[in-house]
Structure 1
Amino acid sequence: MSLGSNDILSRTSRNKLYIKLVEPTIILHGSPEDSLGCFLRGELILNLTKPTKIKKIELTFLGKIRLFIPRADGEIASSNNFEEREVISHTWTFLNNLSSSNIDNDSDSNSNKSIHSNNSNKSLVSRLFHSLSSKKSDSSRYTILKKGIHTYPFELFLPGTLPESINTNVGRITYKLSARVLKSGVFTKIRKSQHVNILRTILDEWNQGKVVSNEWKNVCKYEVSFLKKAFPIGDCINIEMKLIPKDKDKYDLQYVHIDLVEKASYNLKTRPKPNVQESTICGIKLQDFIEEWTDKDSNNNYSSHIFKFDKNHSHQQQNDNETNRDESLNSKELCYHETISFRLPNSSFSIHPTYTSEPITISHDLKFLFCLRTFTNNNRLKYKKFTLIVPITIIASKCKDDILPLYYESENDNDSIISTASWDEISFDDVSLPPSYESSIYGSKNNSSVNLGVSL
């Protein structure tokens, strides 16, 4: 396996250590219960400017959960006060001469003690002899690597139950590769580390639409629809909103306020209850709406009749409106209709992906505040407000390129607001499977551990 870095490394003027990953961002597909996991693959590259005595070469992959401990009022006072535990740990040992070194050191110390007990005044000859024997034993404590580039490929299976990488003000989950080379002489260590970003995407939530419809206190009927349930950070949420007052002469829609609310909760072993923090990420206010007159539904099934959307019959509907333009408005209903584009912030610092794990949970809701104006019997102005909360899923922006685009049927369903997604059949005959779990995990001098069941 070659990652094309030989030309860059050959021009360096000093010893260098590099970590090159096949996939810098690891994406887990599906929920923790359904995900099959994936592989972490790469190369550890050591560039030597001259023949060098190397004692040990090792690489460690470590995942940690760190939760910050808040004050009594729930605020995070310092990032130095935290709880931490390991999620996964694995070590590759590519070269190790330290085991023989430890044996030699023990034998040397024992011989020194015996010589000292027999003769406290050692002669010059004995000291020279001991020095020569020590130099001979030193040669077995290292391996001389020639000048040039030395490549060590590595691979590790990552289970689908691993929590994703996240960094919030309440805690973080990080994964890191750390390489270390021990050599003889001055400046005996060469180190290199690199963070590994693990993300998760759920295809079902991405491709499924959502429709929320109801009636509020016999005042109005409303419907809010989305083409999908999951949205990448920085993406635009397209919302189809419709509202029909029960009495068009008594109520009219003044404005709609939409807020994106993020709620983060985390569990500490020192606290009996989870700590919850809620914040409003962004919001918009709408005051201009399209007013449409629609036929009353005798069955009161406005979701299937009033709100249906059929492009093929749009011209016919216009002709019908012209034909029936003299019809009494008493047989019509006033519908406030608007297509809304709600832009998510394109910053991983201001908004985080929706996240569910044992220590940290992050959820997102779109909060709709509807305000209707009415007049009392005394002809006094009065406002009526109600709130609609719709849960949505936010995913990392890097997951957007990993998801197939939506495909729609050519003919719209007359009883549905949104088009039904259809997927082409996919053949898996030519798809090559990854190496087996055993061949990637078990090997000489490799140690790994996964810890997912320890609660904080």
Structure 2
Amino acid sequence: MERLRSSAKVKIHVESDNLIMYGSAVESAGCVLRGVMSLKLQEPIKVKSIVLELFGKMAVTWTEGLGNGHDRLFREEKSVLNHTWTFLPKEAKLHLMNPGDYTYDFELVLPGDLPESTYVPNFYTVQYHLKATIERSTFMPNLNLRKIFHISRQLLPLTPDFLEPVAISNQWSNKLDYEITLPSKIYTHGDQIPITIRITPLTNTLRVRHLSCTLKEYMICRAAGSAAGILNTRPRAHGRVLFSTRDDKFGRTNNATSQADNFIEWTKVQTIPLPTSVQDLQCDIQNEAIRIRHKIKFVLSLINADGHVSELRAALPITICAINKTGLPAYEEAWRSLPYDPAAFLALLYQSNNGNPTLPSYNSIVDNCSLVAANNPPTYDEIPCLISR
């Protein structure tokens, strides 16, 4: 009798967890989702079917005032993408699967007008995921697995003004000159943003209390589609602080007694580390439902000669993109540009699963791809030959 709990292991491997669409929703050609679903059996099982489903959902949540201090919560969900791969169709009889490794490759071209993956707490979310289902016989629990992947949109093209250094400079109340410089306007997840701050006091009576630097993410949401007819169309604003620091020692050199003709410049290089997770840092987005922007804000708190406290405030907008490539790709990314083949992809996965977590060498990838081309392409039974090389 077949055991109620199966030892079967299901995995979903995708070529990339973060798919990128280049250009706006009007001009983008979309992107391609590729991968392999694997099933490892240590004992025979009977199944009805094996399918892989792709879901994309948009959810809008809002609160509508009913008067007298009462609110009502609404939630609307909309499907933006659906697709099903049937690897083993249902038949009159159950399929008997013997112990072994089973692999099923999948591929789908995604349209370029899809909304980007987004998460705005309590208002707007867009999420994409894959769901594998191995449907077993009656009264036997199915085997299920979900895998979330991310869709981002990339500027096209990256114009030169985005890649040039960004700076603001001005004179404040005839008391100081300031300059704030960034090496570029474009950044991505995991980047380090070096900010150079130069302050030149024009009077010796000025003292600094502190210098603060903050990176903020701004989101403006509005209801779209059928929700717009129900929801108050006033946009909802949401923001969060991604990084904040305060320097209480900045400008202390000006506190020392000095001659009036001495030149003083307060200089600081502040580095902002950007989060690596797409949940902790979202790309800049603009569509009919949401707009996301990022700014770095500076506040220089000053004490005047009469003891009055003043604040110099400045802000620099930056653009967060899915990728930030202005030159040749790094070695770690070079292998991704090779022609895609499910067999070669599986071979690299098996190399990693067999205790080799590092990236393969360039020569091994070329050899594997050459072997794939020579066999045009090999069957799954021939994959161990790829691995042995």
Which TM-score band applies after superposition, normalised by the shorter structure? 0.5 to 0.7
In 1: Cα distance, 2:243 partner to 2:338 partner: 44
For the Cα contact (< 8 Å) 1:27–1:200, is it kept in 2?
A: yes
Of 84, 88, 91, 1:91 maps to 84
- Equivalent positions of 1:257-336 (< 5 A) are 257-268=212-223, 269=227, 270-286=231-247, 287-289=249-251, 334-336=264-266
In 1: Cα distance, 2:44 partner to 2:136 partner: 11
For the Cα contact (< 8 Å) 2:216–2:295, is it kept in 1?
A: yes
Bigger relative contact order (CA 8 A; separation at least 6): 1
Aligned to 2:185: 229
In 2: Cα distance, 1:335 partner to 1:406 partner: 35
Q: Deviations over 1:311-341 (max 9, x none)?
A: xxxxxxxxxxxxxxxxx965x7644332222
In 1: Cα distance, 2:165 partner to 2:87 partner: 50
Cα distance, 1:210–1:291 mapped onto 2, change above 3 Å: farther
Determine whether 1:342 maps to 2:296: no
Cα distance, 1:208–1:347 mapped onto 2, change above 3 Å: same
In 1: Cα distance, 2:192 partner to 2:252 partner: 21
Shift of 1:275: 0.8
In 1: Cα distance, 2:62 partner to 2:263 partner: 55
Q: Secondary structure at the match of 1:23?
A: coil
For the Cα contact (< 8 Å) 2:197–2:269, is it kept in 1?
A: yes
Determine whether 1:165 maps to 2:113: no
Shift of 1:346: 6.5
Q: Secondary structure at the match of 1:258?
A: strand
- Equivalent positions of 1:38-437 (< 5 A) are 38-48=31-41, 54-70=47-63, 72=65, 82-97=75-90, 138-139=92-93, 142-170=94-122, 171-187=124-140, 189-200=142-153, 202=155, 204=158, 207-233=163-189, 235-245=191-201, 247-249=202-204, 251=206, 253-268=208-223, 269=227, 270-286=231-247, 287-289=249-251, 334-344=264-274, 351-375=281-305, 380-394=306-320, 403-404=324-325
One-letter identity of the residue aligned with 2:318: I
In 2: Cα distance, 1:72 partner to 1:281 partner: 31
Q: Deviations over 1:275-328 (max 9, x none)?
A: 112344442223423879xxxxxxxxxxxxxxxxxxxxxxxxxxxxxxxxxxx9
One-letter identity of the residue aligned with 1:152: Y
For the Cα contact (< 8 Å) 2:181–2:197, is it kept in 1?
A: yes
In 2: Cα distance, 1:143 partner to 1:339 partner: 65
In 1: Cα distance, 2:238 partner to 2:324 partner: 31
For the Cα contact (< 8 Å) 1:291–1:337, is it kept in 2?
A: no
One-letter identity of the residue aligned with 1:289: G
Shift of 1:16: 4.0
Cα distance, 1:211–1:25 mapped onto 2, change above 3 Å: same
In 2: Cα distance, 1:367 partner to 1:212 partner: 12
For the Cα contact (< 8 Å) 2:152–2:283, is it kept in 1?
A: no
In 2: Cα distance, 1:212 partner to 1:35 partner: 33
Cα distance, 1:22–1:283 mapped onto 2, change above 3 Å: closer
Cα distance, 1:196–1:390 mapped onto 2, change above 3 Å: same
Shift of 1:161: 3.7
**Unaligned residue ranges in structure 2 (runs of 5+):** 330-336, 342-389
Shift of 1:207: 4.1
**Unaligned residue ranges in structure 1 (runs of 5+):** 1-11, 99-137, 293-327, 408-422, 424-430, 436-456
TM-score by length of 2: 0.65
Determine whether 1:21 maps to 2:14: yes
In 2: Cα distance, 1:334 partner to 1:201 partner: 43
In 2: Cα distance, 1:347 partner to 1:59 partner: 26
For the Cα contact (< 8 Å) 2:180–2:197, is it kept in 1?
A: yes
Shift of 1:226: 0.3
For the Cα contact (< 8 Å) 1:248–1:334, is it kept in 2?
A: no
In 2: Cα distance, 1:56 partner to 1:14 partner: 18
Shift of 1:19: 2.0
For the Cα contact (< 8 Å) 2:8–2:39, is it kept in 1?
A: yes
Shift of 1:200: 4.6
In 1: Cα distance, 2:317 partner to 2:303 partner: 27
Q: Secondary structure at the match of 2:158?
A: helix
In 2: Cα distance, 1:192 partner to 1:181 partner: 9
For the Cα contact (< 8 Å) 1:226–1:238, is it kept in 2?
A: yes
In 1: Cα distance, 2:143 partner to 2:55 partner: 19
Greater strand fraction, Structure 1 or Structure 2: 2
